[in-house]
Amino acid sequence: MKYNFSDRISALQPSAIREILKMSSDPQVISLAAGNPAPEAFPTQAIADISKQVLEQNPIGALQYSLTEGYPALRNSMKDFTFNQYGIGKEFDELIIVSGAQQGIELTCKVLCNEGDTIICENPSFIGSLNSFRSYNTNLVGIEMADDGINTDELEKALASHPNTKFIYVIPNFQNPTGKTMSYEKRKRVYELAKEYQVMILEDNPYGDLRFEGEDLPSIKSMDTEGLVIYVGSFSKVLSPGMRVGYLIAPQDVIGKVVVAKQCADVHSNMLAQIICEKFMTSYDIEGHLNRLKEIYKHKCTLMLSEMDRHFASSVHYTRPQGGLFIWCTLPDHVDMIDFCKRAVTDYKVAVVPGSAFTVEEGVPTQSFRINFSTPTDEQIVKGIEILGKITQELC
Site for a second copy in 109-128 (CB under 8 A): 110-115, 117, 128
Neighbours of 88 (CB within 10 A): 26
Asked if 139 is part of the footprint of a second copy (rule: CB under 8 A), the reply reads no
> Where in 158-197 is the site for a second copy (CB under 8 A)?
166
Report helix, strand or coil for 333: coil
* Count of alpha carbons within 13 angstroms of residue 265, beta-carbon side: 23
In the complex with a second copy, the residue whose CB is nearer, 193 or 200, is 200
Asked if 68 is part of the footprint of a second copy (rule: CB under 8 A), the reply reads no
Per CB under 8 A, the list member of 62, 96, 301, 352 interacting with a second copy is: 62
The binding track of 222-241 with respect to a second copy, each residue x by CB under 8 A or -, is: ----xxx-------x---xx
Asked if 2 is part of the footprint of a second copy (rule: CB under 8 A), the reply reads yes
> Which residues are within 8 A (CB) of 324 and not within 5 positions of it... i.e. 6 or more apart?
173, 174, 175, 176, 179, 207, 210, 297
Min CB(295)–a second copy separation in Å: 19
Per CB under 8 A, the list member of 87, 116, 242, 365 interacting with a second copy is: 242
**8 Å CB contact between 149 and 322:** no
> Where in 313-342 is the site for a second copy (CB under 8 A)?
none
Q: What is the DSSP letter of 383?
A: H
Asked if 64 is part of the footprint of a second copy (rule: CB under 8 A), the reply reads yes
Per CB under 8 A, the list member of 23, 30, 47, 223 interacting with a second copy is: 47
DSSP string, 25-88: TSTTSEE----PPPGGGS-HHHHHHHHHHHHHH-HHHHHS---TT--HHHHHHHHHHHHHHH--
Per CB under 8 A, the list member of 1, 28, 91, 334 interacting with a second copy is: 1
Min CB(105)–a second copy separation in Å: 9
Asked if 271 is part of the footprint of a second copy (rule: CB under 8 A), the reply reads yes
DSSP string, 281-301: HHHS-HHHHHHHHHHHHHHHH
Q: What is the DSSP letter of 166?
A: E
* Count of alpha carbons within 13 angstroms of residue 216, beta-carbon side: 12
Min CB(100)–a second copy separation in Å: 5
Interface segment toward a second copy; rule CB under 8 A; list 105-113, 140-148, 178-186, 324-332: 105-113
